[in-house]
Amino acid sequence: MKSIQERYPEPYTHCFGCGTHNQAGWHIQTYYVDGVYVGRHRVPPEYSGGWADSMYGGAIAALIDCHTAAAAADAKGRELGLTAADPLPRFVTATITVDYLAPTPAGVEVNLKARVTSIAGRKVHVSCELFPAGSATPTARGEVLMIQVREP
Amino acid sequence: MKSIQERYPEPYTHCFGCGTHNQAGWHIQTYYVDGVYVGRHRVPPEYSGGWADSMYGGAIAALIDCHTAAAAADAKGRELGLTAADPLPRFVTATITVDYLAPTPAGVEVNLKARVTSIAGRKVHVSCELFPAGSATPTARGEVLMIQVREP
């Protein structure tokens, strides 16, 4: 199954967080499974907060940012009746709020689960939780407003 | 003048965003100047959103995260009557909200300006704006609640 990021057309494939063509980047991948947007990602251990082997806040915000942008793109694509072969519209972040609920271990896999809560024209709201692999308790929660890029 | 991050004691100097001892990291530096916390930082161009030469949202959130953590630490240190020679208390992010007001160019310097808006025990609220170098118009704004780490 293709990830949502693999359906971004040029010139939208070079993002550090999720661009399939950014060689230095993280290559975050997001998939749609039964109404939920899921992803699994391992952030390299150097992106830690530096103690207690926890990720720093910025890395967690970055994961949630790219994951929810993908969720917005796919949800809008479904609303538009696009097929899996169609390139997706691309979204940028208008507002992101991240609540850090507990330390997230650095250098291990984390699971991302997001739901689209509303679509109104070019505005898509997405809620996201982040879990250390193997845990059912989220360590961070994000609420994001994504805006569809106007195509030139 | 020492940056605030240079006053973090061990084991708090290894953060990817601002740790003075994280060799792979960004080394964000924050200074107190007349009631305002200022910083100037250039994020490498690979941390772009991949088009329109703009930074991706995660990188902007990461800059604001580390900068406001430093502002909180210094403000708390001032409240406690610490001197510049004293190690600072360390803060972690409880909640961050970032509003993306306009695209932020990638690969150029940005200026960060933050103000501490309240200190209540271990909780410190910080507001922050991010400006492309040479511009007086912010391209992102953050509101952050930082929590002081309990020393072991």
Query: A55 - beta bridge partners?
Result: A48
Contact (CB, 8 A) for B112 and B38 = yes
Topology of domain A5-148, CATH: Thiol Ester Dehydrase; Chain A (3.10.129)
pLDDT at position B124 over 90: yes
Indicate yes or no: CB of A58 within 8 angstroms of CB of B63: yes
Neighbours of B80 (CB within 10 A): 10
Chain B CB contacts of A99 below 8 Å: 94-95
pTM across the whole model = 0.94
Per-residue pLDDT band for A152 (boundaries 50, 70, 90) equals low
Indicate yes or no: CB of A66 within 8 angstroms of CB of B50: no
Following DSSP, what letter does each residue of A57-90 receive, concatenated? HHHHHHHHHHHHHHHHHHHHHHHTT--TTSPPP-
| Rounded Cα distance, B120 and B148, in Å | 10
Closest-CA residue in chain B for A152? B52
Closest-CA residue in chain A for B10? A51
Indicate yes or no: CB of B66 within 8 angstroms of CB of A58: yes
Domain boundaries, chain A: 5-148
pLDDT tens readout for residues A45-90:
888 877 778 999 999 999 999 999 999 999 999 999 999 889 999 9
Best CA proximity match to A124, nearest among A72, A64, A74: A72
Class of domain B29-148: alpha beta
| Rounded Cα distance, A16 and B55, in Å | 9
